[in-house]
Amino acid sequence: MSFSKLGLSSNILRALEHSGYKQPTPIQDKVIPFVLSHHDVMAQAQTGSGKSASFVLPILEIWSKNIGEGKSKIKTLVLTPTRELTLQVAQTFVSMGEFLPQKPKVVSLIGGESIGDQLFAIQKGCDIVVATSGRLIDVLNKKQMNLSHLQFFVLDEADKMLDLGFAEELELILKEIPSKRQNLLFSATYPPKMQMIASRITQNPISVTIESDEPTVQAINQRVIEVNHANRGPLLRHLLESEKWEQVLVFMANKRATDNIAAKFKKYGFLAESFHGDLVQEDRNYTLDAFKAKKIRILFATDIAARGLDIDDITCVINFDLPRSPADYIHRIGRTGRAGKSGLAVSFIDHEDQDHFALIEKRSQIKLVREQIAGYELSGNAPEKVKGPEPVKGKGKSKKDKLREQAAKGNG
Ligand code: AMP
């Protein structure tokens, strides 16, 4: 299948060629024709599947044919869970719209940057707004944004927005936009809460799923290396030299650990930086751009900062500290092996991580061979499982006794 067969016009095909997209990914293949024929879509798609272009391309196609006269009006609103994803989606609109007779004006609304500048950009006239919901609400409260001409409402990576009071924010947003519009929903999972949101937003949506044998994580070679916690830093240095990995994303448990280890690796002469939620947006953007441009080789990051990261050339993801949940494991390793490339994910585990990693394996339906690296072998013994003291019968009151007493008091 080629992009031209999907019904996209020559100016967009030119932008695709310019970006090196040769053929549509499975999600693009399925979603683009439905959007072009004005259907609501509810797609199940992972990051790395090419889902952004699956809505960006047909929206631009339709928009460019109906621009209308006068000052630009906001026709498209995309909500995303993170600042990084917002900027990436906005960038995709810009690059795919580059050769259109009239280029779309795209504004990103994200926290951590001046709201005044964002309001100014909207006032000047824009066609497409990409936003995180929090900042969008702040902007709506200023009553300086007109969403009454909206045609497309998109939720990207919607399942990651479910917490943080999103349902309430969504209601506020729905009040501001026309009820007749085209809705496009993208989510990796559809738990009941997500389905409720889907039914609140979409009308007769077409469901699109990508067969389970196509997830991007299949392209990822996963390794697990047993090493003592204290030896993880030296092992990482050894591997960086022996395996010659180029761009490496290393996940740490918290911000402090991220800063500390980045400083250490810099001292050893590596091009390393830390990346976490406490950095101001300008620093985050700068670091990401430097990593993309390969001026940084090793990025030490927390989970929060890495959500939605879209960098094609990550050679290897390291779980220096294990993720808390199996879902985070899949999310982390999905940062490599993107856009059809192969990838590598390596997890370091010590004795006390064994049970937790076994759980991750079980939930992710994988089973990995434990490796050890010569000179960095795991030593010591697994910690004894500490059991609490056996309950002693007759000491203290049982729950039942307490309930009985309460009931007796109530009756007496
Ligand atoms: P997404 O899942 O939208 O975050 O896209 C993941 C990555 O795949 C992005 O870096 C895109 O630039 C890239 N990509 C998307 N569609 C294609 C395509 N058809 N051919 C090559 N790369 C693509």
231-257 burial code (b ≥16 CB/10 A, e <16): bbbebbeebbeeeebebbbbbbeebeb
**Do residues 238 and 337 share a domain?**
yes
**Do residues 234 and 157 share a domain?**
no
H or E stretch covering 124: none
8-54 per-position pLDDT tens digit: 999 999 999 999 888 899 899 999 999 999 999 999 987 778 899 99
- Domain presence at residue 361: yes
**Do residues 169 and 231 share a domain?**
no
**Do residues 189 and 242 share a domain?**
no
- CATH code of residue 135: 3.40.50.300
- Does the pLDDT value for residue 412 go beyond 80? no
- Domain presence at residue 206: yes
Q: 218-222, 238-242, 288-292, 399-403: lowest mean pLDDT where?
A: 399-403
Question: What whole-number distance in Å separates Cα of residue 24 and Cα of residue 22?
Answer: 7
- Atom 8 (ligand 1) nearest CA: 339
**Do residues 206 and 250 share a domain?**
no
Specify the length of the chain in residues: 412
For ligand 1, whether the C-beta of 310 sits within 6 Å is yes
For ligand 1, whether the C-beta of 307 sits within 6 Å is no
Ligand 1 center to residue 156 CA distance, Å? 14
The string of DSSP codes covering 352-389 is GGHHHHHHHHHHHT----EE--TTS---S-PPPPP-PP
**Do residues 54 and 128 share a domain?**
yes
pLDDT band at 215 (very low <50, low <70, confident <90, very high): very low
**Do residues 157 and 21 share a domain?**
yes
- Atom 20 (ligand 1) nearest CA: 21
Structural domain harbouring 228: 219-371
Of 56, 95, 338, 341, the one to substitute when testing ligand 1's pocket (max ligand atoms within 8 A of C-beta) is 338
For ligand 1, whether the C-beta of 53 sits within 6 Å is yes
**Do residues 239 and 109 share a domain?**
no
Domain boundary among 210, 241, 265: 210
**Do residues 176 and 227 share a domain?**
no
Residues 128 and 53: beta-carbon distance below 8 Å: no
Ligand 1 center to residue 336 CA distance, Å? 13
Ligand 1 center to residue 50 CA distance, Å? 4
**Do residues 249 and 306 share a domain?**
yes
Give the total number of structural domains in the chain. Answer: 2
190-204 per-position pLDDT tens digit: 888 888 899 999 999
Residue type, 372: Q
H or E stretch covering 80: strand 76-80
Question: What whole-number distance in Å separates Cα of residue 173 and Cα of residue 151?
Answer: 14
Ligand 1 center to residue 205 CA distance, Å? 24
Ligand 1 center to residue 82 CA distance, Å? 18
Residue type, 99: F
Ligand 1 center to residue 195 CA distance, Å? 26
**Residue 336: closest CA among 363, 310, 302:** 310
